[in-house]
């Protein structure tokens, strides 16, 4: 299918037969063709439920359940390639308590929304064909995505269930930190000037608070324990000297308080994080320390992966002309590093209508990631399907090597489409470069600061267009890049620290943008 096919050739696809290992499986695949089977096969779930769609076609983004943070209903593909609603879902149940999603997506301009004219032919899309538009630079593409993608709806969620989401409102402390006066060190709580009479009781963190101290008394205390009433200081162990029942401070040691006082770190109402802050382990911990466990959020962005090509196979023995899917299994991990959750992964056959079915059934996710079919080959039909769907083209192509055929479009009242090149390294390069901007645009996340540093062999790598190459850290700081890379596999990324975006005509030691591949 990737070879050049004359325009007059009629393409006939037998869904699933290429992946059949037995005669019985072949017969089932042929029967599917006879009964109108679809071109979608090999759907693999990644443990996340598909978000339900209300009767008006908008997504239902009501509050998450207690285990996943996302509504648990799951739809299944029907024979037409679309999703069917669960039998027990009613119109009222689908829309109950769901935040309004009106305007939740960038809509296509003009009349191009997949509508047909009176002859049944697809109406012309409002945007010019993506192939006719000049490619965008990486900065232009990122700015476009951050500015023009419409935000996801806001809902209230338990923070530990929605890692990768973004705060929709400022997060403020609900209680003081610490909540009461506590010992900052293992040592002795004392009252007044020493020496002190040492009592027998001990104060432990989380245990019963010792009774109040009288002047001249001391009590053993552990880090984090509530200090007794009357405490004037805590003497840490290394500054203390005990002789029988008498405690004294060692000579030539500093006099310190070593008490963390109530509200010393945070007071109720203090700002913990601004709106637009990503929800990660640090934010969840900081929020819990001031009695905040839930907040209004957007996201996390949920994606569906579509792998394309008759020649690609993910499991089982390879047949003549087939190659192993070497990127589909790792994409969920790469996406998760950008705060994107993967719902499932599907293999799409090279058929004239396969992409139309995928785009029509795509409203249940926030991001539709298609790998392959973005170029201009005979089997590369994604752009034509996007035009028929009336999608708004945001990034027609990238001025980047590799990854130039990357496509980003906003489907009418549906998700964002990210079309990645089928070449594994090009797909990883484009995804790593654009995924953060997509999440920023959808969730109103504050863009992270770019990581810049010198590329010591930039002159050997730079060319007429920006390049993305694997790099390894240099002992003196900065990076060394790989001038020659093989893009058909990811072997060149083994033992590399990340990628670098090398501008045209860069010189040795010029600063470049670093794109990490690992958390």
Listed by start position, the domains of the chain span 17-151+300-443, 155-173+267-298, 182-260, 451-516
Determine the 3-state secondary structure of 316 from DSSP. Answer: coil
Q: Given pLDDT bands bounded at 50, 70 and 90, which one contains residue 340?
A: very high
- The Cα–Cα gap between 344 and 362 comes to 12
ω before 402 within 30° of 0 (cis)?
A: yes
- The Cα–Cα gap between 488 and 166 comes to 35
Q: Which two tokens stand for residue 305?
A: 């992966």
What digits encode the pLDDT tens for the residues 247-305? 999 998 998 889 999 999 999 999 999 999 999 999 999 999 999 999 999 999 999 99
CATH topology of domain 182-260: Molybdopterin biosynthesis moeA protein; domain 3 (2.170.190)
What average pLDDT does the chain have? 79
Q: Tell the CATH superfamily of the 155-173+267-298 domain.
A: Molybdopterin biosynthesis moea protein, domain 2 (3.90.105.10)
Cα-to-chain-centroid distance, residue 295: 19
Determine the 3-state secondary structure of 136 from DSSP. Answer: strand
Q: What is the pLDDT of residue 364?
A: 84
Q: What is the pLDDT of residue 10?
A: 40
Q: What is the pLDDT of residue 128?
A: 56
Of residues 445, 450, 494, the one with CA closest to residue 470:
494
Q: What is the pLDDT of residue 46?
A: 47
The secondary structure of residue 53, as a DSSP letter, is B
Lowest mean pLDDT among 51-60, 332-341, 343-352, 461-470: 51-60
Of residues 359, 373, 255, the one with CA closest to residue 311:
373
Half-sphere exposure of 427 (CA within 13 A, CB side): 29
Burial class (CB within 10 angstroms; exposed 0-12, middle 13-18, buried 19+) of 248? middle
Q: Which two tokens stand for residue 393?
A: 């083209």
What digits encode the pLDDT tens for the residues 402-431? 999 999 999 987 899 999 999 999 999 999
The secondary structure of residue 8, as a DSSP letter, is T
Lowest mean pLDDT among 176-180, 195-199, 217-221, 311-315: 311-315
Q: Could you list the beta-strand ranges (E) of 390-464.
A: 392-395, 407-410, 416-420, 451-454
- The Cα–Cα gap between 333 and 341 comes to 9
Q: Which two tokens stand for residue 463?
A: 């060319």
Of residues 355, 373, 371, 372, the one with CA closest to residue 411:
355
Determine the 3-state secondary structure of 515 from DSSP. Answer: strand
Is the separation of the CB atoms in 268 and 178 below 8 Å?
no
Rama region for 497: left / alpha / beta (φ>0; ψ in -120 to 50; rest): alpha
Q: What is the pLDDT of residue 371?
A: 94
Q: Which two tokens stand for residue 91?
A: 């119109």
Whole-structure pTM value: 0.74
Is the separation of the CB atoms in 377 and 371 below 8 Å?
no
Q: What is the pLDDT of residue 323?
A: 86
* pLDDT of residue 91 exceeding 50: no
Output the CA torsion sign for 100, 105, 108, 112: negative
Return the bridge partners of 198, or none: 218
Half-sphere exposure of 112 (CA within 13 A, CB side): 20
Of residues 136, 164, 176, 100, the one with CA closest to residue 395:
136
Domain 17-151+300-443 has CATH 3.40.980.10: yes
Higher model confidence: residue 499 or residue 39? 499
Q: Summarize the confidence of residues 47-70 as an average pLDDT.
A: 38
What digits encode the pLDDT tens for the residues 115-162? 333 333 344 444 556 657 899 999 999 999 999 999 999 999 999 999
- The Cα–Cα gap between 153 and 105 comes to 10
- The Cα–Cα gap between 274 and 270 comes to 11
* pLDDT of residue 463 exceeding 70: yes
Share of the chain above pLDDT 70, in %: 73
Q: Given pLDDT bands bounded at 50, 70 and 90, which one contains residue 104?
A: very low
* Most distant CA pair in the chain, distance: 102
Is the separation of the CB atoms in 270 and 290 below 8 Å?
yes
Place of tokens 């002047």: 215
* pLDDT of residue 217 exceeding 60: yes
How far is the first Cα of the chain from the last one, in angstroms, to the nearest whole number? Answer: 37
Lowest mean pLDDT among 51-55, 408-412, 477-481: 51-55
Q: What is the pLDDT of residue 236?
A: 96
What digits encode the pLDDT tens for the residues 117-130? 333 334 444 455 66
Place of tokens 């192993």: 324
Q: What is the pLDDT of residue 106?
A: 37
Determine the 3-state secondary structure of 272 from DSSP. Answer: strand
Is the separation of the CB atoms in 114 and 390 below 8 Å?
yes
Is the separation of the CB atoms in 303 and 420 below 8 Å?
no
* pLDDT of residue 13 exceeding 90: no
Higher model confidence: residue 64 or residue 446? 446
Q: What is the pLDDT of residue 129?
A: 60
* pLDDT of residue 111 exceeding 90: no
Q: What is the pLDDT of residue 519?
A: 75
Q: What is the pLDDT of residue 492?
A: 92
What digits encode the pLDDT tens for the residues 369-390? 999 888 876 667 899 999 999 9
Q: Given pLDDT bands bounded at 50, 70 and 90, which one contains residue 361?
A: confident
Share of the chain above pLDDT 90, in %: 58
CATH topology of domain 451-516: Beta-clip (2.40.340)
Half-sphere exposure of 499 (CA within 13 A, CB side): 24
Scanning 325-423, the segments in alpha helix (DSSP H) are 331-336, 354-360, 382-388
Q: Given pLDDT bands bounded at 50, 70 and 90, which one contains residue 31?
A: low
ω before 178 within 30° of 0 (cis)?
A: yes
């Amino acid at each position: 299918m990737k070879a050049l096919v004359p325009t007059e050739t009629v393409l006939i696809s037998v869904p699933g037969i290429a992946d059949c290992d037995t005669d019985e499986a072949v017969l089932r695949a042929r029967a599917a063709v006879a009964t109108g089977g679809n071109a979608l096969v090999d759907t693999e779930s990644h443990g996340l439920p598909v978000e339900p769609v209300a009767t008006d076609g908008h997504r239902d983004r009501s509050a998450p359940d207690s285990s996943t943070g996302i509504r648990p209903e799951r739809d299944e593909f029907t024979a037409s390639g679309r999703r069917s609603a669960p039998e027990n879902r009613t119109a009222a149940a689908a829309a109950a308590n769901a935040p309004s999603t009106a305007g939740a997506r960038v809509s296509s301009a003009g009349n191009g929304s997949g509508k047909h004219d009176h002859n049944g032919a697809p109406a012309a899309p409002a945007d010019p064909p993506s192939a006719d538009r000049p490619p965008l630079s990486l900065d232009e593409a990122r700015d476009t995505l951050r500015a023009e993608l419409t935000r996801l709806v806001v809902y209230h969620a338990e923070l530990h269930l929605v890692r990768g989401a973004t705060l929709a409102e400022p997060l403020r402390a609900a209680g003081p930190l610490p909540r009461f006066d506590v010992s900052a060190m293992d040592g002795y709580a004392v009252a007044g000037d020493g020496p002190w009479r040492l009592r027998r009781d001990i104060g432990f963190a989380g245990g019963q608070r010792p009774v109040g101290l009288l002047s001249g008394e001391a009590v053993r205390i552990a880090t984090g324990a509530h200090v007794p009433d009357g405490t004037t200081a805590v003497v840490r162990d290394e500054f203390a000297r005990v002789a029988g029942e008498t405690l004294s401070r060692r000579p030539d040691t500093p006099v310190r308080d070593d008490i963390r006082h109530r509200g010393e770190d945070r007071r109720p109402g203090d700002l913990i994080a601004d709106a637009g802050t990503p929800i990660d382990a640090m934010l969840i911990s900081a929020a819990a320390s001031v009695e905040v466990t839930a907040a209004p959020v957007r996201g996390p962005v949920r994606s569906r992966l579509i792998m394309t090509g008759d020649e690609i196979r993910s499991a089982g023995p390879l047949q003549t002309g087939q190659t192993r899917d070497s990127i589909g299994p790792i994409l969920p991990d790469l996406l998760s590093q950008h705060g994107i959750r993967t719902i499932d992964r599907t293999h799409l056959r090279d058929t004239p209508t396969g992409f139309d079915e995928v785009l029509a059934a795509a409203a249940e996710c926030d991001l539709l990631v298609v790998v392959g079919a973005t170029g201009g080959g005979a089997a590369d039909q994604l752009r034509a399907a996007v035009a028929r769907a009336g999608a708004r083209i945001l990034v027609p192509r990238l001025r980047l090597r590799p990854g130039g055929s990357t496509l980003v479009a906003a489907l009418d009242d549906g998700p964002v489409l990210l079309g990645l090149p089928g070449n594994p390294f090009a797909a990883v390069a484009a995804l790593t470069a654009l995924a953060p901007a997509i999440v920023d645009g959808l969730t109103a996340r504050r863009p992270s600061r770019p990581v810049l540093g010198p590329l010591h062999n930039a002159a050997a790598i730079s060319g007429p267009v920006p390049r993305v190459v694997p790099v390894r850290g240099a002992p003196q700081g900065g990076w060394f890049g790989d001038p020659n890379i093989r893009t058909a596999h990811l072997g060149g990324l083994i033992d590399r620290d990340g990628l670098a975006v090398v501008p045209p005509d860069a010189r040795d030691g010029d600063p470049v943008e670093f794109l990490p591949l690992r958390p």
